[in-house]
Chains A and B, each alone.
Chain A
Amino acid sequence: MSAHDWYVENRSAFVSRSLERDEERTFIEHLMRCDECAREVARLEGDLAWLPMGVAPVAPKPGFARRIAGEILDRPRGWRRRLPALAAAAAVLLALGLGFHNGRERRELSRLLATRESRLTALEDTLSVLRQARQVVQTNVSMPGGGGGGAHQGGLLIFQDGSSHRWTVIVHGLPPAPDGNVYQFWFITRTGMVRSVEVNADSARPAFMTVPMPSPAIPVMGAALTMESMVNRSGEPAGVELAHVMF
């Protein structure tokens, strides 16, 4: 039995996590250098992807989704202290809520408050990227073939926050993508293009996105905005390049 046979024999044990800790570590190291085993393990994981659904669902406690979302979105707590307006708004809403005797209206008000809190938290989070940005880059976006044969002229603005490893990207002045197409934002890295988010452009207002950067191990050298066919889900751009910026 060769050394590799052991890995072949234990692929399903690795996927089910029934190897001992040392064996598991050895297997992970092997996967980094053995394409065949990596491919087979991925295939096995894919085949068994739905196996956990053999367990029946359990009813969450009332308000569970909202509480979990609140805890996740509520991370930058320091900001909250600096925004007394939030507390004031919450107090007003709560005071109004107390004035209502109808239970349905109270529940509706609580829901509204939770929605506004989560929106405000998301806004604080976005603002934190803008405030902490170490570099701000701006470039024009040209989209040929606009109405009447002219070209749409928009803009792309990037705020880079190295500490949270995120960018806030603002795209403005572009019309909605034609049917069957999407605006696609890309990172330009040393190892090639990395697909980021699709941009929902609307010339009436800017599109505002906070996106995580690729792994810190992959240095980002620039960014691009392209118009892609919706059917292109590959890792490489195939459509028209609308903007391109290098740092």
Chain B
Amino acid sequence: MRSRALDKDAGSAPQGRAGRPALALKEESSLRRRLRARDEQALVELIDAASPWLLGLTQGMLRDPDEAEEVVLEVFQVAWERVGSLGDEDEALLPWLFRIARNRAIDRLRRRSRLRLKHARAGAFGAIAPADAGATGFDESARPGWHVHESVHAALAALPDEQRQAVQLAYFQGLTHAEIARQLGIPMGTVKTRLRLAFDKLRVALAPIKDWVL
């Protein structure tokens, strides 16, 4: 398996390509209702659908498969506790889980005392294949939601190198402006500008997939 994360050389996919959403709107709505009613089978279904994506994100950020699994467990624990307060009008399930996972992973990264290691790993993100893929024969392109991945990947690949690098370090590695500036040897104002420009472009590029569900 290869890691396509933020790797521009991995090639770009046709943006906005029609594909199979991980769950149709009706299915997500049903899953949400069942989760709120404490249906444990619904929890298993949610874990089944979301965990490959959450593991991809957390392994990419933490570079530690065991720690990534711990974070994913925490994510589902929080989700199981809080899903009752998630209304039908609120964000889709998977982005909600992503937000929890990214925040938890960033908190862990910041707790790590070995800042130098964090920086070294940040530079390698996207180039290292995820460790221990687990099952053999895992066809990532067959995963529900793969078309969303392709669209996001294309949007990231379309950014100028310096902006994509800033997004990589800030959004996917949790480095602060000051840390990025130190690592790249550029002024902090330049970091802020690159990030702002990158996010403006990403907002436009990701608009067609904004309302997809899990």
List residues of chain A with CB under 8 Å of any chain B CB. 9-10, 12-13, 15-21, 44-62, 64-66, 68-69, 71-73, 118-119, 121-122, 125-126, 195-198, 200, 209-212, 214-215, 233, 235
Contacts and interface: CB of A to CB of B under 8 A. Distances in A.
Q: Is chain B's interface secondary structure helix, strand, loop, or mixed overall?
A: helix
Contacts of A68: 47, 51, 72-73, 76
B64 interface: no
B122 interface: no
Contacts of B56: 55-58
B135 A59 contact: yes
Contact of A72 (B1, B76, B138): B76
A59 B1 contact: yes
A44 B149 contact: no
A20 B178 contact: yes
Contacts of A65: 44, 47-48, 51
A44 B199 contact: yes
B182 interface: no
A69 B40 contact: yes
Contacts of B95: 49-50, 52
A10 B72 CA distance: 29
B114 interface: no
Contact of A56 (B3, B82, B135): B3
A57 to B, nearest CB: 4
Contacts of B87: 195, 233, 235
Contact of A16 (B47, B145, B170, B207): B170
B84 A60 contact: no
A61 B206 CA distance: 31
Nearest to B48: A65
Contacts of A71: 73, 77
A48 B202 CA distance: 7
Interface in B73-115: 73, 76-77, 80-82, 84-85, 87-89, 91-92, 94-95, 98-99, 101-103, 106, 110
A126 B40 CA distance: 12
A53 B53 contact: yes
A47 B77 CA distance: 26
B171 A51 contact: yes
Interface string B38-66: 10100110011001110111011000000
11 contacts: A46-B210, A53-B149, A56-B3, A56-B130, A61-B134, A64-B51, A73-B43, A209-B37, A209-B38, A211-B36, A212-B82
Interface in B121-172: 130, 132-135, 138, 140, 143, 145-146, 148-149, 151-153, 155-156, 167, 170-172
B195 A18 contact: yes
B202 A53 contact: no
Interface in B173-214: 174-178, 180, 191-192, 195-196, 199, 202-203, 206-207, 209-210, 212
Given A49-B210, A50-B206, A119-B40, A196 B84 contact: yes
Nearest to B148: A53
Contacts of A195: 87
A40 to B, nearest CB: 12
A13 B174 CA distance: 11
A238 to B, nearest CB: 14
Contact of B5 (A19, A56, A69, A210): A56
B60 A72 contact: no
Contacts of B209: 50
A119 B40 CA distance: 7
Given A13-B177, A50-B206, A60 B52 contact: yes
Contacts of B102: 17, 52
